[in-house]
Amino acid sequence: MKKLSTFLFSAAMLCGIVLAEEEMMHKTIVSLDPSEMENVALDAVTEHPYMQVIAGDNPVAGSLNKFHSNDGKFEVDFYHGSEVTLKLADWPVHEVMYFVEGQVEITDESGSARIYGPGDALVMPKGFNGTWRQLSPIKKISVSYPHD
């Protein structure tokens, strides 16, 4: 759990988030218990301009928003999804991911690939292009910020 706490602190720092003093005064601590991912409803994967399904047998996914800033730009989510391969084009946000279960292989435009699994963390920058291949069902915690 200490590794997860360090990850979340680092994610906030990497995203460059500074909450206004008055915004922080009325906030309470949000607990991030990975067991809550068991309650995430799974639906058919929805394509977006930045994400197209290129392989997978009726892939499903779901997310649970655990926190968002008042301006709606800084978010923390739980994600749970089945095996699927996605083509990513111009990823819309800076996103820090911490993998709880499963494995994903991410390949960038140059063809460089890496597999991530439980306990691994990464930053996917806004504008990333590549392939996301979930090798098994995965669960992850995501922290995102669009940083215009």
Q: What is the largest CA-CA distance in the chain?
A: 48
Confidence of residue 17 (pLDDT cuts 50, 70, 90): very low
Q: What is the pLDDT of residue 26?
A: 47
Range from 38-42, 56-60, 85-89 carrying the lowest mean pLDDT: 38-42
Q: How far apart (Å, rounded) are the C-alpha atoms in residues 138 and 17?
A: 27
3-state secondary structure (DSSP) of residue 86: strand
**Domain covering 2-145, topology:** Jelly Rolls (2.60.120)
Nearest to 109 by CA among 84, 87, 139: 87
| Contact present, 87 and 131 (Cβ < 8 Å) | yes
Task: Answer whether residue 40 shows pLDDT above 50.
Answer: yes
- Mean local confidence (pLDDT), 14-27: 46
3-state secondary structure (DSSP) of residue 63: strand
Q: What is the pLDDT of residue 148?
A: 62
* Domain boundaries defined on the chain: 2-145
pTM above 0.85, yes or no: no
